Amino acid sequence: MKLRVLTIGRPDTPWAETAIEVYRTRLKRWVPVDETFVKPETFRGDVDKVRAAEAERLAAAVGERDRLFVLDERGESPDSDGFLRILEATQSSGCAAMTWAIGGPYGHGPALRERAFKVVRLSSLVLNHEIARVVLWEQLYRAYARQNGTPYHH
């Protein structure tokens, strides 16, 4: 199984890229990883149109055999044990990739949330996409480290 992260927009925060690269590099010893940046929609006064266009672009990047997880403030809030259970259930599902979608400034449209296998909230706080990326990559690494007996997860 492959691990994929789809993100609306290109990152522009060097500190976030540095942190993410640490987790991405560590994860590569256990799982193939990929991150794809999807073009954001230009805002022209209609938030729903932006969400719908970005949802279409994200959906187009999801493979037929991928299991899609959408990060959204309306999702379930797993703790680290719950996150590990999500990972383990996905690994045993026979899917090609565990694919995580991070929205742009206006979040995800309802069509993408409905298509998702699971909608997950990383925090009770709304996080911008740069911080959400760091938290997601860290939690993915934490789950794989626990699964593989690495002492990172104290």
Query: If you average pLDDT over residues 3-12, what whole number do you get?
Result: 94
**137 phi and psi angles, rounded to 5 deg:** -60, -40
DSSP, collapsed to helix, strand or coil, labels residue 51 as: helix
Bridge-based pairing of strands 97-102 and 66-76 is parallel
pLDDT at 154: 58
**78 phi and psi angles, rounded to 5 deg:** -75, 150
Could you give the angle at the alpha carbon of 11 between the alpha carbons of 144 and 53, nearest 5°? 95
DSSP, collapsed to helix, strand or coil, labels residue 106 as: coil
Query: Tens digit of pLDDT for each residue in 25-55?
Result: 999 999 999 999 999 999 999 999 999 999 9
Query: Tens digit of pLDDT for each residue in 49-88?
Result: 999 999 999 999 999 999 999 999 999 999 999 999 999 9
- Domains of the chain: residue spans and CATH: 2-153 (3.40.1280.10)
Provide the angle, in degrees to the nearest 10, between the axes of the packed helices 80-91 and 129-147. 70
- Please return the burial class of 149, using the count of CB atoms within 10 Å of its CB with bins 0-12, 13-18 and 19+: exposed
pLDDT at 153: 61
Q: Which two tokens stand for residue 101?
A: 């979608």
DSSP, collapsed to helix, strand or coil, labels residue 132 as: helix
Query: Tens digit of pLDDT for each residue in 109-135?
Result: 899 999 999 999 999 988 888 999 999
Q: What is the pTM of this model?
A: 0.94
